[in-house]
Amino acid sequence: MSYRTLKIITILLPTLLIGGFELLRHSVLLHELSMKTGNYLITILTFLISYAFSTWMFKTIQDKNQRIASERAMRAVYEERERLAKELHDNIAQTLFLLKVNLKKGKVDEATGLVHSIDANVRQAIYNLRMSPDDMMSFSKRVENWLNEWSAVSGVEPSINIQIPEGYFSTLEEVQLFGIIQEAFMNIRKHSQATSVSLQLKPNNLGWELRIEDNGKGFSPKEIKVTQYGLVMLKERAQKLEADVDIVSELNQGTTITVRGGVKYGSISIAHRG
């Protein structure tokens, strides 16, 4: 039922029912009902019609809103899949080109590393693409399963501490937050050379906080741009969550990525620990 139809029903139904009763009362029941009794009846009738109609109307609107929210969430999941598929295609194409170059030059060690990189990208992409949008798996369990896959590829066992209750995030928010976690951990695997990684997701006074730490080689803010290492993707996803991203790093001392939601920042900052 369209909103236009609901609008017409809202205008006509109460008018016809109450107006029809009043017309019947004054034309047919005029000698059967006293004025006082008629007033009581019209009051009761108005209450019953208003209650029944408003209950039905709000239930209809609620169902429509839930369907719209579900469709938006589904679209977000499929858009994420399309992005992952394109990213997989681009990464593999680039890596295969480098693999070909290294093999021609006889650089076996470099070629072996590129093969492992392709294997890792394919594994992680397959995990993302095989997840059904209707999968009833909880967000925390989905994160843990993906990190287990990441651990098998990277050889690093992450420490995971998720204290956010299930249902805290909407499906749209889960898509963006899961993307931030994936982006951060893929950067750790590709660039950090870390041997220890931790993830903590917990509520705070203003909303929630995600903290990802590693003990890798780190970097200096002077040596990195926001356009590098997937930081643009982190910023875009944080903005969609209306969250703030802080990245603190020091050479040979690791990196900490903190994402805070619940307040409207949507910014990204990079700082040195020193």
No. of H helices and E strands in the chain? Answer: 6, 6
- Name the least confident of 17-21, 149-153, 182-186: 17-21
Phi–psi pair at 73, nearest 5 degrees: -65, -40
**CB distance 212 to 257 below 8 Å:** yes
Say how far apart CA 169 and CA 212 lie, in whole Å.
19
| Residue 268 confidence (pLDDT) above 80 | no
**Which contiguous run of DSSP H or E holds residue 251?**
none
Segment 43-62 shows an average pLDDT of 81
- pLDDT for 213: 95
Could you give the C-alpha distances from 206 to 209, 220, 240, 260, 264, in angstroms and in order?
Answer: 9, 30, 17, 8, 10
- Name the least confident of 54-68, 129-143, 198-212: 129-143
Segment 85-93 shows an average pLDDT of 69
More confident residue, 52 or 230: 52
Segment 83-89 shows an average pLDDT of 67
More confident residue, 1 or 245: 245
Please, which pLDDT band fits residue 91 given cuts at 50, 70 and 90? low
- pLDDT for 26: 73
- pLDDT for 227: 44
Please, which pLDDT band fits residue 267 given cuts at 50, 70 and 90? low
Mean pLDDT, the chain, integer: 77
Q: What is the pLDDT of residues 116-143, one digit of tens each?
A: 667 666 766 666 555 555 555 788 888 8
